[in-house]
Amino acid sequence: MLMINKAIAEATEESHKISTLRANGLLDADACAVRMNAISAKLTQLRGERRWLSENEALDETMDAIRKMTAVINNGPEQMNTFDEDLFDSLVEKVIAESQTRIRFRLCGGLELAEQLEVAAR
């Protein structure tokens, strides 16, 4: 990604230089348009590649977190009769109360599970 960011910076700088040459009358309008169109196309391509890499990087991080959770579960007890706070803390990143009857668990890695609570009649 560093190389793509560098290429984007270089193309942006080249665009600025061409604009300066055109503004100073050192480059005619047609030549300027051709070069600016080429730079614009290159920037569009590079930004698309950067976006794709960024999305895949986020996906890789999520997959790593899911693999870690799987390992924790697989290495945990086969059956639980009581609440295990350490296991819970290693799997759950955050508990979100959406309402008085609905909570959401955000697991490590971003996966979220919602749970509807049953409310006893008063």
Give the model confidence (pLDDT) of 30-87 as tens digits.
888 999 999 999 999 999 988 888 877 877 888 888 888 888 888 888 888 898 888 8
**How far is residue 8's CA from residue 41's CA, in Å, rounded to a whole number?**
11
Q: What percentage of residues in the chain have a pLDDT greater than 90?
A: 30
Average pLDDT, the chain: 87
pLDDT on residue 118: 85
HSE on the CB side for 1, CA within 13 Å? 10
Q: Is the pLDDT of residue 92 over 70?
A: yes
**How far is residue 26's CA from residue 32's CA, in Å, rounded to a whole number?**
10
* pLDDT bucket at 9, cuts 50 / 70 / 90: very high
pLDDT on residue 122: 66
Distance of CA 3 to CAs 10, 62, 86, 102, 103, Å?
10, 24, 42, 46, 43
Length of the chain, in residues: 122
**How far is residue 40's CA from residue 105's CA, in Å, rounded to a whole number?**
44
Using alpha carbons only, give the angle 22, 23, 29 rounded to the nearest 5 degrees. 35
